[in-house]
Structure 1
Amino acid sequence: MTVAPAPSTETLHALFTALPMALVVYDADHRLVLSNDATFAWHGLDPRIAPPGTPFPEIVRILAWAGGYGPGDPETLARAVLSVDRTRATSRLLRIGGDRTVLLESRPLSSGGFFTCAADVTTLVRAEAEASGRARQLESVLSRLHGGVALFDQDMRLGLYNPAYEALIGLPPASIRPGHTQWEVIDLLVKRGEIAADEGALISARMEGDRHRAATRQRQRPGGEVLRFETQPMPDGGCLIEVDDITALKRAEDDARRRAAMLDGVLAALPHGICVFGPDRRVSLFNEAHARIMAGSAVRLGESLEELVARRVAEGEFTPAQADSVLARQFARDGVDSRPVLHQRPNGTVIEARTARLPDGGHISVITDVTALQKAEGESRARAAMLDGILSALPHGVCVYGPDRRVKMLNAAYERIMQGAPVRVGDLIDDLAASRVAAGEFSAEHAARTLARKFVRSSDGWDEMLRRRPNGTVISIRDAMLPDGGHISVVTDVTAQHRAEDEARSHAATLEAMMGTIRHGIIMYDRDRRVVATNAKTSALTGMPAELLVPGRLMDDLIDEQVMRGQITPDGAVRMKAIDRSVPQRYSRARPDGRVIDIASDPTPDGGYVITYSDVTDDRRIRVELEKSRAAAEAGSLAKSRFLATMSHELRTPLNAVIGFSGALVGERNPARIEDYSRAINDAGRQLLLLIDDILDVARSQSGMLPMARLPVALAPLLQGAAQAVADSAIQAGLSLAVSVPKGLPDLVGDAARLHQVLMNLLSNAVKFTPQGGRIRLSAALTDGGLQIQVADTGIGIAKEDRDRVFEPFTQVDASLSRRFQGSGLGLYLARTLAESMGGTLSLEDPAEDAEGAPGIAAVLRFPAACLVAPAPPPDSISA
């Protein structure tokens, strides 16, 4: 084995010096051992500036001040370099000199030293930046492509795709990602319902086969969009798939096929013969009509024009002169031969031929069998002569002007009607207008308007006007444009008709005024149930717009329209359509707005009928109000009877006590009993006084003489005082009484005594109607609308349908003499009356809280903010 001799020191030094990078070796004491020229030459320094043995920090500072570590403070850069741990391998990129990039690496040596290596990687960094830029451009282009692009590798895994690919194949954004296989993508499509499972398997098999060759396929999405998939094999064994939405193209192709089929059908159905010659002057297409019209000398596909003409000369169809004319005309350079050529065939038929150049250099020949037309023209000439006779006999005046605005023709009736304004053939219409202005026939302004209107084509072809001549006759003038640019003027003497129409209009106006002033709606129908006439009041009474109540409308249509507008029900419409209108009918109908309409139907002698509508709402309302007044009177009488019965019952109890205990006092000598009897008599007397006071307050409230103070009332003390007044009664009844009054309640403008009376009535009712163990709560609070005071209990409650009734005077839910709860029935009535007199309201509502499930009731007093002295913020509640 031969071993190559070790290179000499000079060789190693030369190699070290020639390296295209800066290389520096340091010993264990961090002193320079070896460096090549590039270390300092890169920075414009003499390589001898740092001889071997130079300390590492000194070399670092030399390079930092020379810009070897990039821009910045040299000392700061040097300290950063010196702080690097040289016992570990490090690597970093530096930008020096503004446009150069250096890769600086440090590697430890086994001897304890280390070496640094700096390589110029500017070109590499620039190449990487350019590659990144191109990659970003590619991604930007792909993201903006309307078509979808997907790249699969040799294992059919997705490597690259754009957003359009996901959207076109029917997947939401971010559904797929690089690394997905084609089977996973197809499985996502199956799950979203874009394709069926068996179709997905078929697509997978096709993609597997198509990746080795170029292929194009189409697929229709469930929404109807048509996609085109183009597969291109890639060198690595994968494939590139491009997806385009060709829905519009597919539809255009289908439309083109439909149009081609339609064109074939049109050509087959046309009565005109069509023959197309190609640029080579040979027949390329003709239709059945051409063969039929030219029966006996039909064209043949592929036959040249010259051959065809020669054959027809031989068959006697053309003369040689006609043949030369056909050949010269068929390929004329002016594009279209607008002059139709008439030709009479040997069999007697007459054909009209036209030719036109085609864009491809060929030409088309169109022939029409005009035999019947020629015959008709002969007949037309005969009719024209007949028309001249008719015009002469017409009672209407006819004057025809040519495109040059001169009179071409007029009949005798025109001259007779326009007597005094002569017209001659050849007169210029402008001269005629000037002469008529001079004769006082009409004004210059009228002449100008007439001339401006004469030669203008109107929408319906005719322009009509009436004019009263100076001699008193009225003429109707109808003008119309003629196809040649002239116009025709027809005048009729309508003096008698105009006079009759004036009389008819006057009579109609009188009738319309009469119809418009009556307060009833009227519609007249003919025997076919169609509207003949109506008045304006009908629209207001039936709820039908006036534009629908027009002559000619069927009654059944109007009824259906009223059903659609909610004026009558479908069942009511069926009944109305079935009414026999040949006999008088009377019925009523209530409109959705509450009005009541009385309807009368009466037949007319001609088989039609007239329907009259009358608003009887006020009559019905007066009847209802009278009925309500009668019921109220009866209710008042009943209330008085109930009041007398109740009062006799309520008065008897304390009077019995007064009489009984006062009788017991006679002869009683026991002081204790005398005191008890006297107290009982006093309590009964006070009860009688309270009852009488309530009766007096009811009387004052009904007469409007109830006294009411309007002074600030401190609410908290008042509420606490009312609660204290019924506290003993609540305790004796086994009830709990709670008071919740927030701090800072504003004063209420009202009558303190009356408000106390209201609260006492409400609290007394709560104590009376709450079973033992129940709860009563008196609370007050500020709301958005003002002040709310509530007395809530867990008592027997009041049904919702009875809550308004209990506010009537002398009323209890149980009004019998054997009722369970005693009382006059005036408490709630007085409470509401007093509350309303102070500007508030009182209502009975369901309690907000009901922990024990008892029915309960809440009496709620509400006073608006205007009744409060000053607003206050919602405070914390205190309970008592």
Structure 2
Amino acid sequence: MDLTLQAALLGTVMGAAVLTVVTLYGWTLPNAPKAFGWWAAAFFLETLSRAVLIPDGLDIRADLSDGLHALAAGLSLCGAVSLGGRPVSGGLLIGGLQVAMTWGLLVHLGRANGLLPLDLPVLGLGGGPLLLAAWHFRAPRLRGGHQAPNTLASIAFALHGLVLLASPVLNSDHAIAVWGFFVAQLLSVLMALALLLEVLMRQQAVAESEGQRANLLQSRLVDALSSVQDGVALFDPRERLVTANDLYRQFMAPVAEIIKPGRLFQDIVDAEFEMGVVRQECEVVRSGKLADHAVPAVQGCEAELFDGRWVSINVYPTADGGYLRILRDVTARRQVTASLHDSVTWLRGIMNTVVDGIITIDDTASILSFNAAAERIFGYGADETVGRNVSMLMPEPYHSEHDDYMRRYAETGEARVIGIGRQVKGKRKDGTVFPLELAVTRMNQGGLITYIGLVRDITDRKRVEDALVESEQRFRDLAESASDWFWELDADLRFTFVSGRVRQVLGVGPGYFIGRPFSDLATSCEDPRDWDVQQSLIRGRRPFRGFIFVHPMPSGAVKFVEMAGRPAFDADGKFDGYRGTAADITPLKRHEQELATQSAMRQTIIDNMGQGVVVFDGDERLVALNSHARQLLDLPETEIETGTSNLEALLLYLAVQGEFGHSGAIMVKVQRRLARLRRDPRRVFEHARPNGSVLEIRSTAMPGGGLILTFTDITDRKKVEVTLREARDAAERGNRAKATFLANISHELRTPLNAIIGFSELMKHEIFGPLQPPAYRSYVDDVHESGMHLLELINDILDMSKAEAGMTDLVESPVDVAAVVRASLRMMDKRASANGISLEADLPDGLAFLRADERRIRQILLNLLSNAVKFTDDGGMVRVTAQVDGRGMVIEVIDTGIGMTPEDMDKVMEPFVQADTRLSRKYEGTGLGLPLTKALVNAHGGTMELHSIPDHGTTVTVTFPPERVIDDTHLLTTEADESWRRG
């Protein structure tokens, strides 16, 4: 790529980076469109798509640039859609990603086929979203008309979109691409300026909107202050006047000229006293700080003005730290107060003598008088209440609603309490709320309205009433929620009352029983004998419980009902009838029937069991006993019975019958066995009875407590065990006799055999001269070979006998298994070569040593190799492998011989048995090789396994345990030295 094109690309990257930073900055400002977030990501990807084109040597830079541009186009489309006021859906995002992937694939195929330049991107896809954004910038803003269309942004986005659409043509030639990249750089900067202008326009619109809102609120505040009936002045946190209504200026007419916004409260107060506006004031009025006026203890202070009017002065803090000063004309009330002062004086004496509280208030709800009874009821003194709003004596919500109620009554005449009287709630000085009766009377006097309230504390009466209501409601709730239903009989024993619950229980209404005599239930009694008992109880006027009668339901089902009742007497002791409850016990009755059925079924099951079964519950009471147990233990029906006998009684009966022997104290035997069962209930033991039979007794603890004893007669089994034991002993004696015989005969045969082998060997080597005639040489060789074969056979028989008797002696030392394997292969090489069989060894380097008897290991390998060579045809192969793994030392002898069937593999492991049992068998041998080898492997604690397939060969796997493997070189040296010292 030439230097000019690189410079143009660098400029494009810088322009796109500036556009990204500007967009990201605009996105962080308040009220920025959500589109700025999408565009910031899109322009960042555009920057990367240009940046990857600058470095040389990257073969896929053009494809990478187009791929990044396609992703940027998708995000730019989301920004354009968001700018148009529509939400960006997940489908749009997925669709944009699919279009980007398709675009990248098409561009790559075009370059692969030589249709597009290899070092310049196609671009072009992002032009469409920019044109759509340009259109939205020209469209009117739907944000309340606070912002005009951004023409510069529309033009910049449109030009940049057209340049991108033309990119496939511009980038077809390097010279034209330079100008295209240069123009894109300028348009990126122009778009950045346009987007900054867009953000500034939005911020300006918001600021103008906030200013208009502030002016509107200011206007509304002034209008609201002008409409109130009090003089109101608003001060800011620095105690400067913000605004004041006309009535406030009227009250302060002499200083109205200085009551202007911005004046300090201190200046206004000083002017009030200099001009004599306030003649008589409360103490705090002279203070120059509004914070002192806002103290709750001095709120509502009153002052006389220059024109003789009286005003109450109140100061309230506002949420922003300012203050609200309110002046209210109370002249009329002051006059009424003065005129009433005289009448109040003589009325006070009367009011203080009555029991009920009397409270008078004016039309503003201010308390005028508070008698001694009211002081006692509410806990306030008269000096604490007079002049204050009567709502101070009311809890919420009446406290907050009282002034509105007074205003509504003055306007509409609608009364809730006045002239009516009702029970309400009052609040004492300590904050407690209590019930009281309130009666209010309105009194007009000289145009002044006064309300007289008569209050009476009804706390005690209310407590009694509430207790009665609660008790009645509790009884009603219990009666409705109880599963029982209630009934009453009169003195003639007829039903006079039945609760409605009977409908849910029996399916009939109370009218079914009302008026009927109680004696009608005699025919429905579950057991006729129970009715006689019930009649005697009723005649004796005694309480009864557990009387059950049967009631047929309309559906055909049957209900069992249990009744309980008590006699009722009047104050003179005269019998008034019965009253009581009745309950549906049908589920209980059905449960009892099911239990009886299950009990009978359980007894039938255990009676038909082949074992004796005895069951005790958690209290060791006998709950089940089958007939087989009675037969095995000779238990009579009358001595041991379910429900009455227990475990101790059963053991005591057996001890008395001599079941545990006739010596020793009976109770000691019983207690010893009882303690053993309690301590260890899960036991299995045998018991020999005096009659010669043997029982197997199994005791098992039940999960919920209790014990199950099962008795099995094992007399015949014990006899069979004795017979089998005697047969086993005879077999063992015969086996030992056979081993002794084999050892003796082997010794007797070996003595003459040594002479035969020795002399034949002397003759074979012609120690005393040549044999004459020479034909004797072959005979001597046959004699020597036959003698050696017979010696090997005798040795194998002797070793097998020792192994079967468990008398194999091992002289253990570290064994180099690899060396033993190679030596064994060398010994078998001549025989294998004669039969055309190849021998192989697959041994890893540094194979670990084995702690074993080296002679026995060599014997094992020679036996296995001999068998493998013997049963492998010409051209076959025998391979030996050895390795160490998690199982220990594993040695395998693999041949390609004739193989064996699964039945043959079972046979060859028996001594003196071969798979080929015919008289004219092909392979010689005694059948001791594999059994002896297995015995020697077992003597080392190892295992031997056979795997064979007929006509495919046999694999013998010998595994020695891991504890016999010696991996540690130092340990190996130590054991070798120790073996050498032992000789």
TM-score under structure 2 length normalisation: 0.30
Q: Name the structure with the higher helix share.
A: 2
